[in-house]
Structure 1
Amino acid sequence: MYRIQPVQKAYAWGSRDRLQAMFHLQRDAEAKTLAEMWFSGHRQSPSMLRMPDGSSIDVLQAVRQSPQEMLGESSSHLFGPVMPYLFKVISARIPLSLQVHPLDFQARAGFNRENAAGIAADAPERSFKDPLAKNEMVVALEPFTAAVGFAPLLSQIRLLESVRHPLAQHMAELLSAPRPRTPNAAFDPEHQAFDALMPLSAITWPESRRRIFRAFTLAITAAAQEGSGLEPALRDADRSADGNSHLALANALAAVEAFPDDPSILCLLMMNPVSLDEGESVFIPAGTPHAYIHGTAAEIMNNSDNVLRAGMTAKHKDIPNLLHSLNCQPDSPMDPSNTSFGILSMQNLVTYKPHINEFMLAYGHVDVGTSPWPIAGRLIQRYGELLLRLRPQPFLRQRKQLPDRGPRVLLCTDGAIHCSTKHDAMDLQQGQAVFIPSCDGQVDITAAAPEPAGERTLDMDSPHPDATAAHGSYLLASTPF
């Protein structure tokens, strides 16, 4: 095991205190917002590993020098000598951009095209920093809100019709029209303009999906002045809203406070509002439109920093490429948590496994006493006495569920934990993490007594002063095999 140092990302939408508190960073009145902590093998922002001799090496170098030991045979064979995933902890104070991650073929073509054009890898106008699609998963560490994918068509229409604003009404008209407004769509200039932006695959789309594309495109290509007066119209609609309509309008109202009169905010009313409690999750495949609104979460994705933005941002927007990757199929958000009978009976561990090879997450809790984990309490409340009758030995079940090979990153999110492998053992306090190479085999995680109080800075070896009980929570990022 090697201590791993996260890379700090100070974006405008980040928190002023949440990540600073979790990672026990020094704060002052002039401190920048902190948005993300990367545990990374990405070539532009690699994390540093502390070696046994006290030296440091970045993850890229460590993997390239010993791919079999670091990654394991399966991961090396599938992905080559690179980390297959990028693991982050993020905290959003205000909404992030409305965005889509490119599909595989889009990512490869865009990456090669921008390389050929001589656009620097770190240039602000660069869209494709990697030749990889980016599938993404979020696990909430506190209440977390987002908009993910398109809602059912009728829900989109009803919600937009409730907003008395010219642009919202125009979007609702595009969504609800049973046929083009002229007998022949070829003679409708607006339809022609929107349809010209569709990907080639749109030739197979049903008309309902084409309507969604047109309404979405209308909002993200509208002139800034067309968003004037959005906030009062949204607030008026929210007074009579309930259920999902209220959640979607709440997302839009949070966005309009951060980005006044941005027309693209109306796209949030076409999307599924997502409200996660701690331990709940959502998987976002490439091509799915999404925007994170507020909260702190663990995030894991392909080892790619590709983002195509459409609005709600001061950063570079790439609307043509975003539209070529956009999945316009309405669908419910995907929960990748493993809710099978056996996992639910374990009251100290939840695993999250989307159906891809690059990554999975585990979120667990260890305690030397009998204090219940709040997440387990919610599961028991949902599934009743069945779980209470199936209390297993949590440590034994935990060992069977955590991956015993592949590249792993273990982060203590609360309290203190003790982790051990056949080669090493370490105590981790809140905010500390280790990289566990494949050659270390099985990792066992138990509660650890807190270390003595001391002044805390973001150092891989320093303790923090706040843990007072022999319990801990953790996240384990890994490949699923």
Structure 2
Amino acid sequence: MTCCNSYSLSCHIQHYGWGKKGKESKVAKLMGTKADPNKPYAELWVGTHKKGPSFLRETNILLSEYIDKEKEAAVGRHCYARFASELPFLFKVLSIRKTLSIQAHPDKLLARALHQKDPANYPDKNHKPELAIALEDFEALCGFRKVDAILHFFSQYKEFARVVGESFVESLIRSYEKSDKDLQRKCLKECFTQLMNADEVVIKQSLAELVSALRAKGLRNSLEDLIIRIYKDFSSDPGVFCILFMNYIKLKPGDALFVRPNTPHAYLSGDCVEAMACSDNVVRAGLTGKFKDVSTLCDMLDYSSEGVDEFVVSGRSHTANIIKYAPPVEEFAVDRIQFVDPPQAFQLEPYAGPSILLCIEGCALTNLEPGGFVVKRGCLPRDVMKCGPSHFNRNYSFYTVQCHLHPCTKRTRLCGLSGVLRAWQRRGAGK
């Protein structure tokens, strides 16, 4: 049986202001070309989203146009029936120098409503659950802290309680004492909404007083250091106080964070690989100069009060070299494939749907009859659209495109790889 081809992709770079600059950026290193030391390289986008679409490098046609032309032969019958000419996922690399906004991504129902009402700011009808896998030490805020922790901060930091308002703080205290989860969510929403709608003068004064008191302390904890750090860029933004409402999460390389729809979050620093449903819908309300939609964010959020463990995802060891990250969604899952001492060859299971193969470190060779091509960090081509098996070994060879578009049941071989991640479509999950 013949197998599907692999294609080298030309992928899009987003130069958002919060990105790491020049050679400090993981994104810039993956470009394989000289980076401008004064330019931020924030995100590498791999996929079919119209804001940053990938092209087939050899023919310079849009990946979405190729899929539209070849249909299920390109991505598989199930994927094409469900998603047509769009990939079900968007695969990214992020290099974060400066805090991203306090934000959330709408569920499918709200995404459709926002798109119909304001397509300029909400360009997609789709939801955007996302999985971030740390490539280095990574910081984020995600979800609301447990209520007792928030109440502790109201007591510890009077400026925080003053901005929210005494009556709202007291209501949250009473809901906690009654152990009424529904009432706690209602009161927490009122507290958060008060903060995000507080007068800018009050926010600025309260933050200045808080930061002054923290700087005067002889010994500060990591959360207090974070407040001071974020304050330097956002001295009058209520988002700085969100640090006290939300879980502060630190990831080590290989740790992952799964962000469900309607969950407040903000990425703070570090590099990560990110897989998500194909959407760019973002509702923002703080720590940004971009469009803010405070009322929508406050109304849409899931105010469940949960700890860090609800959001940190541990990959499942599949083999000695493969760790699987499989969140409860149908659009994507991720394999992390890593070798300390690469073997001559390594076999992977084939998947019926489309995959993206991204080399983070090391190098490999795909071998499709009658030729192959090199996949290597910082060496073009660096990103591969894969719909079927490839063969990796220690030889270096450029590629020739041979379009074998039928599904393949042979096993995939990999070799010479270190730190490769592969995303694929999961069928039948999270519907």
TM-score normalised by L of structure 2:
0.82
Structure 1 residue 4 corresponds to structure 2 residue 12: no
Q: Any conservation in 2 of the 1:226–1:263 contact (CA below 8 Å)? A: no
Structure 1 residue 145 corresponds to structure 2 residue 149: no
- Of 252-261 and 279-288, more deviation after overlay is shown by 252-261
Q: Percent identical across equivalent pairs?
A: 26
Against the structure 1 CA distance between its residues 55 and 79, is the aligned structure 2 distance closer, same or farther, given a 3 Å change threshold? closer
| Distance across 1 between alignment mates of 2:397 and 2:104 | 43
Q: Any conservation in 2 of the 1:102–1:287 contact (CA below 8 Å)? A: yes
| Distance across 2 between alignment mates of 1:428 and 1:418 | 6
Residue by residue, what CA displacement relative to the aligned partner does 1:368-425 show, whole Å, maximum 9, x if unpaired? 558xxxxxxxxxxxxxxxxxxxxxx9935xx24xx52211111110121233467863
Question: Which aligned pairs between 1:462-473 and structure 2 lie closer than 5 A?
Answer: 471-473=417-419
* Code of the aligned partner of 1:26: K
Question: Which aligned pairs between 1:10-21 and structure 2 lie closer than 5 A?
Answer: 10-16=15-21, 17-18=24-25, 19-21=27-29
What is the match of residue 321 of structure 1? 296
Structure 1 residue 59 corresponds to structure 2 residue 66: no
Residue 257 of structure 1: CA displacement? 1.8
| Distance across 2 between alignment mates of 1:356 and 1:68 | 21
Structure 1 residue 427 corresponds to structure 2 residue 421: no
What is the match of residue 407 of structure 2? none
CA RMSD of aligned residues (A): 3.0
Q: Which SS does the other structure have where 1:70 is aligned?
A: helix
What is the match of residue 47 of structure 2? 40
Aligned residues: 393
Q: Which SS does the other structure have where 1:354 is aligned?
A: coil
Residue 471 of structure 1: CA displacement? 4.8
Q: Any conservation in 2 of the 1:103–1:287 contact (CA below 8 Å)? A: yes
| Distance across 2 between alignment mates of 1:5 and 1:261 | 41
Q: Any conservation in 2 of the 1:449–1:471 contact (CA below 8 Å)? A: no
What is the match of residue 418 of structure 1? 365
* Code of the aligned partner of 1:209: R
Question: Which aligned pairs between 1:102-251 and structure 2 lie closer than 5 A?
Answer: 102-115=106-119, 126-165=120-159, 167-171=160-164, 173=166, 176-178=169-171, 206-229=182-205, 230=207, 233-234=210-211, 236-237=213-214, 239=217, 246-251=221-226
Against the structure 1 CA distance between its residues 302 and 424, is the aligned structure 2 distance closer, same or farther, given a 3 Å change threshold? farther
What is the match of residue 275 of structure 1? 250
* Code of the aligned partner of 2:346: F
Q: Which SS does the other structure have where 2:117 is aligned?
A: helix
What is the match of residue 363 of structure 1? 336
Q: Which SS does the other structure have where 1:275 is aligned?
A: strand
Residue 247 of structure 1: CA displacement? 4.2
Q: Which runs of 5+ in 1 are unaligned?
A: 116-125, 182-203, 371-392, 453-459, 462-468
Against the structure 1 CA distance between its residues 275 and 65, is the aligned structure 2 distance closer, same or farther, given a 3 Å change threshold? same
- Of 170-179 and 80-89, more deviation after overlay is shown by 170-179
| Distance across 1 between alignment mates of 2:201 and 2:341 | 60
| Distance across 2 between alignment mates of 1:208 and 1:422 | 61
Residue 237 of structure 1: CA displacement? 4.8
| Distance across 1 between alignment mates of 2:197 and 2:323 | 41
| Distance across 2 between alignment mates of 1:316 and 1:148 | 21
What is the match of residue 404 of structure 1? 351
Residue 7 of structure 1: CA displacement? 0.4
Residue 77 of structure 1: CA displacement? 2.1
TM-score normalised by L of structure 1:
0.74
* Code of the aligned partner of 1:433: D
Residue 133 of structure 1: CA displacement? 1.2
- Of 326-335 and 225-234, more deviation after overlay is shown by 225-234
What is the match of residue 389 of structure 1? none
